[in-house]
Structure 1
């Protein structure tokens, strides 16, 4: 696989520059044939052009090397989903030798291509076209949830202000994200109640077609995800926000028609390109162990059988010694799920699993934990077009299988997960089942899977054997966050200083985030 190094010209990297890049937007976009600013505002063209980039940049779906740097070389491997068995000059994030030239890309891209544009929408729409401001807030929260869950402290409340931008703590960011969702849900819900014709239709690049009610469902479901993320560090607030999401009049995702999907403008899936065209991205050993042990029918949707081990699904263990970039080139590559040209922002299955965990914690989730858990599995089976959910759900025998590396027996390992699928007897066992099934259903979003692994310790994953962090990152605990970007150290050093001050530890990959607390799940 070829690693394409970032080369950007005429682009602003610091947060101040990200704002200034759009400061003269109106001047640059004046219609040369005479359209006036009021004309542009009448058609919302001065707003629509700013929101469009988010649909391809939140999960980069149009440029493969950019997605590679945004997520593939980090969370997709740390989640246990897939791995790239390559070392680029001795460097590979999956071996915990973190490469800062790669790891700042997600931050830079989010601020330059999404947050800066959404800030301009706030300036143009707030108090005037609040439906667009509300929409921008939902996308802002979706973007910043990913960024803060990668890095921790970040620029949120101070974005676009005077002087160098200081960072909010992650606790402050979560509080502000809940407030932003409050505004968005309240505004759009009122428009649904008034039967207002959507102004989003021409701009919405998702499968929602501009539907206000569907975007409210997504906002509520996103709130539920955020609430669960903070369940161990602030259980009182988590319960309040989760119950607010589920009890809302429009509610959360409940059927697979609610799944939020974006179609790639190029009708490609960048993960498929990396796996097949580049021949450098393969199924992780954890996928083989867990899905293989359960004889999970989603395996055939997620992965292609191995060529080297004919007729079998064969994964590559993450963080081992890879003799050559092609040693494992005939193991399982990505399957039909990543050939659709679609990117899923959030699934109905995930929402059922969130509700199941909430019910397990004693929250009012409009259902009992067991039923919600089983509904999540059924939703995932239906989403992937496979049958047999009832038998799968009731199976209390099958467990994850041992991993065998046919090339190097030193990489063999007994299975680390011992749970069955069928609902169990204790909260801890059932939480492991919920998170393991959510891990399966959330594929291929390694970012969300990595975050839940850090929060709960589930699913249980194989440890790496070739830790090259120089003693910084524990093999047992794995990578907990990404260090702040080099672009910020260069262009906003006071901001980085403010971020480190509220981080709670050193600016490295071993420091836990605010919600990643070292305590029992219950």
Structure 2
């Protein structure tokens, strides 16, 4: 968090400064957080301009305040997904990385959901009767808030933004039911609009996610519906099957290789992960990602990450101070490694920011909201479960998902063919060059090649592993799917300092926020009864059912 205190004080109101750091004395008036004292009166903001904040806050980079994304996702889900690690010893290594949960950090995702998503969307819905605007607003809301729910569980939703001193929570089961209903309603409304008017790009110039195409908003919403249906497959399989099949069979269907990835493409935005990794030097490639990608000899790795030497030919040194000749190699940081000095890890690999190689450290390349490849892997799992997924076998859809990912990174057809035919390579052992004490064997022991004779768990492990690779670096969805399925198998946390999470196990959720406990305790106490256990990071969410996947 390079110069983070200075940036917070200089950019945001004192109320948000308190929320970021976990202080609560000045966080009572959420309404004021959205007001710009130097700008327009909120009542005078045009309707179409109100769409900017929620779209830019799915990843919290509204007005390029990168440190907020760091708190919203990078210092929780990006770590817990296995994608990324941190070279920083925040709090003397007593932080989210070692499962010592930081209340100040963990407020941000909740606050973003309430202030940057629910509030502007509720204003849009109050101000318009245009059916396509209403539908798109609701899709944005679901796209953002299901991610927040998948961090904490129950949330204020149906009762939010309606005033009162107590704002009640919905259970996660009720949230998912509402999300699916809203997606269905939105798809139906947009389908009627498109069938009557066709795509009207000039009408939705505020859209920076779906290329100003009503039809693409439909396919995005259908794919979201498929994603959420699959999430609940172990807790409500009948509803999951019905919703998934309906999403795929809908007139305009789900995302396919004919579509582009869903990203927030706003020319005024910078990439927050790039700022955190390069300028702050706070985010590196994860050890689990290195282990799996190097084990597969995956040709996408050079397009997804930068090797040691990315920051001026700076090599990794051993504890004896001697250089280890790691320049040009891909080296990640395993979660929970105690960092003795940031200078010993700041040269490790980082994510790559422009897959087209125009500028490997560009600030402009957008982070993905949803990748096309995900839709194929979801359908592959659906077929594995005996669902009707619009044609194709589990194998063909699995391989189409890999191909969509290879095509995204410009990997050749011959490399793709060799990759899907490999039945030998598995996750590699992880080596920590600076401190070999934290090296460990690779654990995701499944090959790429499809084997129709394998059991369903093995097939699912292949599907989820390849989906996990393809979704990089979208850590929130990767963390959610890891909790749901247990795949891919990730390296154990090196130094688990939690009072709640047993050694060798993984975090399940973020506790309800300190701000809410201080200002909305009655509702929080009720929400705690909706959990499967205590309000701590070891308690599983509603859809996270222990045991096998079949």
Structure 1 and Structure 2 fold alike (TM over 0.5): yes
Give 1:389 deviation, angstroms. Answer: 1.2
Matches of 1:183 and 1:212, distance apart in 2: 14
Matches of 2:515 and 2:101, distance apart in 1: 16
Higher mean alpha-carbon deviation, 189-198 vs 172-181, is at 189-198
Give 1:16 deviation, angstroms. Answer: 8.7
1:28 and 2:28 are equivalent in the alignment: no
1:447 and 2:472 are equivalent in the alignment: no
Secondary structure of the residue aligned to 1:296 is coil
Asked if the contact 1:85/1:318 (under 8 Å) is kept, the reply is no
Give 1:153 deviation, angstroms. Answer: 0.3
Matches of 1:30 and 1:111, distance apart in 2: 19
Asked if the contact 1:256/1:347 (under 8 Å) is kept, the reply is no
Residues 20 and 273 of structure 1: CA distance in aligned 2, closer, same or farther (over 3 Å):
closer
Secondary structure of the residue aligned to 2:122 is helix
Matches of 2:542 and 2:292, distance apart in 1: 30
Give 1:275 deviation, angstroms. Answer: 1.6
Secondary structure of the residue aligned to 1:326 is helix
Give 1:47 deviation, angstroms. Answer: 2.1
Asked if the contact 2:304/2:351 (under 8 Å) is kept, the reply is yes
Residues 264 and 74 of structure 1: CA distance in aligned 2, closer, same or farther (over 3 Å):
farther
Listed as ranges, the matches of 1:10-49 within 5 Å are 11=15, 17-18=29-30, 28-29=41-42, 46-49=46-49
Match of 1:251 in 2: 253
Give 1:88 deviation, angstroms. Answer: 1.9
Residues 16 and 67 of structure 1: CA distance in aligned 2, closer, same or farther (over 3 Å):
same
Give 1:394 deviation, angstroms. Answer: 1.1
Asked if the contact 2:54/2:141 (under 8 Å) is kept, the reply is no
Matches of 2:177 and 2:389, distance apart in 1: 21
1:380 and 2:378 are equivalent in the alignment: no
Give 1:282 deviation, angstroms. Answer: 1.2
Matches of 1:58 and 1:414, distance apart in 2: 35
Match of 1:483 in 2: 511
Match of 1:410 in 2: 437
1:431 and 2:456 are equivalent in the alignment: no
Match of 2:547 in 1: 519
Residues 356 and 24 of structure 1: CA distance in aligned 2, closer, same or farther (over 3 Å):
same
Match of 2:59 in 1: 59
Question: TM-score, normalized by length of structure 1?
Answer: 0.92
Give 1:299 deviation, angstroms. Answer: 0.5
Higher mean alpha-carbon deviation, 194-203 vs 234-243, is at 194-203
Give 1:165 deviation, angstroms. Answer: 1.0
Asked if the contact 2:208/2:266 (under 8 Å) is kept, the reply is no
Listed as ranges, the matches of 1:261-300 within 5 Å are 261-300=263-302
Asked if the contact 2:422/2:449 (under 8 Å) is kept, the reply is yes
Where does structure 1 differ by over 3 angstroms across 4 or more consecutive aligned residues?
5-8, 10-25, 264-267, 336-340
Listed as ranges, the matches of 1:47-446 within 5 Å are 47-61=47-61, 62-90=64-92, 91-125=94-128, 128-163=129-164, 164-196=166-198, 198=200, 200-206=203-209, 208-255=210-257, 257-307=259-309, 308=315, 309-335=326-352, 336-337=354-355, 339=362, 340-366=364-390, 367-387=392-412, 388-424=415-451, 425-446=454-475
Asked if the contact 2:420/2:449 (under 8 Å) is kept, the reply is yes
Asked if the contact 2:57/2:112 (under 8 Å) is kept, the reply is yes
Give 1:63 deviation, angstroms. Answer: 2.1
Asked if the contact 2:89/2:340 (under 8 Å) is kept, the reply is no
Question: TM-score, normalized by length of structure 2?
Answer: 0.87
Residues 283-322 of structure 1 show CA distances to partners (whole Å, capped at 9, x for unaligned) of 1111111110111111001111113312211111110222
Matches of 1:24 and 1:63, distance apart in 2: 15
Matches of 1:382 and 1:221, distance apart in 2: 20
Residues 3 and 87 of structure 1: CA distance in aligned 2, closer, same or farther (over 3 Å):
farther
Asked if the contact 1:18/1:116 (under 8 Å) is kept, the reply is no
Match of 2:358 in 1: none
Matches of 1:299 and 1:218, distance apart in 2: 27
Give 1:519 deviation, angstroms. Answer: 2.2
Give 1:390 deviation, angstroms. Answer: 1.5
Asked if the contact 1:260/1:346 (under 8 Å) is kept, the reply is yes
Asked if the contact 2:307/2:349 (under 8 Å) is kept, the reply is yes
Secondary structure of the residue aligned to 2:184 is helix
Matches of 2:335 and 2:219, distance apart in 1: 36
Matches of 1:279 and 1:18, distance apart in 2: 32
Give 1:446 deviation, angstroms. Answer: 0.6
Give 1:108 deviation, angstroms. Answer: 0.3
Match of 1:458 in 2: 487
Give 1:375 deviation, angstroms. Answer: 0.1
What number of residue pairs does the alignment pair up?
A: 505
Asked if the contact 1:286/1:317 (under 8 Å) is kept, the reply is yes
Asked if the contact 1:256/1:379 (under 8 Å) is kept, the reply is no
